[in-house]
């Protein structure tokens, strides 16, 4: 009698243990669900850290070396999807982009595209229009500054 009671209460305890672990398998205690923004923060080598409004400014005259470097990167990594006119290819054409967007917005779009597509209304509008997610191109902030200088030159800035 005593023994069977022991066994059954043991079974109940084991059952509760099973129930409690169900659904949380593989998730350690205190671990938050994966957050795309947190992910990008943890991997500065593949994603730029988010730039805040006002942290990057455009200055004139243009830096000619950056324009050249930016053009090289464009031809290698962006040209397959972006024209330099207003015409859409896979992504929007670049003509006028530096006039309608802030330096911060463009930088985040280039270095942190996943975050932008998750959180930024303007980026999401472009996604609805293009129906393709721009891939992360592993561009650093420094490289993106050069790409933007090339975009500014494409927009007629001197």
Question: Smaller CB distance to ligand HEC: residue 15 or 156?
Answer: 156
Task: Give the whole-angstrom CA distance, residue 65 versus residue 142.
Answer: 13
Question: Smaller CB distance to ligand HEC: residue 14 or 122?
Answer: 122
Question: Smaller CB distance to ligand HEC: residue 67 or 139?
Answer: 139
Q: Name the closest residue to ligand HEC (Cβ).
A: 91
Q: Which of residues 33-92 bind ligand HEC (CB under 6 A)?
A: 73, 77-78, 80-82, 90-92
Decide: 123 and 116 in contact? Cβ < 8 Å: yes
Task: Give the whole-angstrom CA distance, residue 60 versus residue 81.
Answer: 28
Task: Give the whole-angstrom CA distance, residue 7 versus residue 9.
Answer: 6
Considering only 127, 136, 140, 155, the residue that binds ligand HEC (CB under 6 A) is 127
Considering only 47, 67, 134, 154, the residue that binds ligand HEC (CB under 6 A) is 134
Q: Does 147 bind ligand HEC (CB under 6 A)?
A: yes
Q: Does 145 bind ligand HEC (CB under 6 A)?
A: no
Considering only 130, 140, 141, 155, the residue that binds ligand HEC (CB under 6 A) is 130
Task: Give the whole-angstrom CA distance, residue 127 versus residue 102.
Answer: 18
Nearest to 94 by CA among 70, 114, 111: 70
Cα 25-28-29 angle, rounded to 5 deg: 115
Q: How far apart are the first and last CA of the chain?
A: 94
Question: What residues make contact with ligand HEC under the rule CB under 6 A?
Answer: 73, 77-78, 80-82, 90-92, 97, 101, 106, 109-110, 117, 123, 126-127, 130, 132-135, 137, 139, 147
């Amino acid at each position: 009698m005593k023994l069977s009671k022991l066994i059954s209460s043991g079974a109940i305890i084991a059952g509760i243990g099973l129930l409690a672990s169900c659904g949380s398998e593989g998730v350690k205690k205190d671990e938050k669900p994966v957050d795309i923004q947190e992910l990008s923060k943890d991997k500065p080598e593949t994603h730029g850290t988010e730039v805040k409004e006002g942290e990057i400014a455009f200055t004139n005259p243009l830096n000619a070396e950056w324009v050249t470097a930016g053009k090289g990167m464009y031809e290698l990594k962006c040209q397959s999807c972006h024209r330099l006119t207003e015409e859409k290819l896979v992504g929007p054409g670049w003509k006028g982009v530096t006039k309608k967007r802030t330096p911060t917005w463009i930088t985040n779009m280039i270095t942190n595209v996943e975050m932008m597509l998750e959180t930024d209304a303007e980026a999401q509008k472009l996604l609805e229009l293009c129906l393709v997610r721009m891939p992360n191109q592993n561009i650093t902030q420094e490289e993106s500054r050069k790409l933007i200088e090339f975009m500014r030159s494409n927009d007629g800035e001197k």
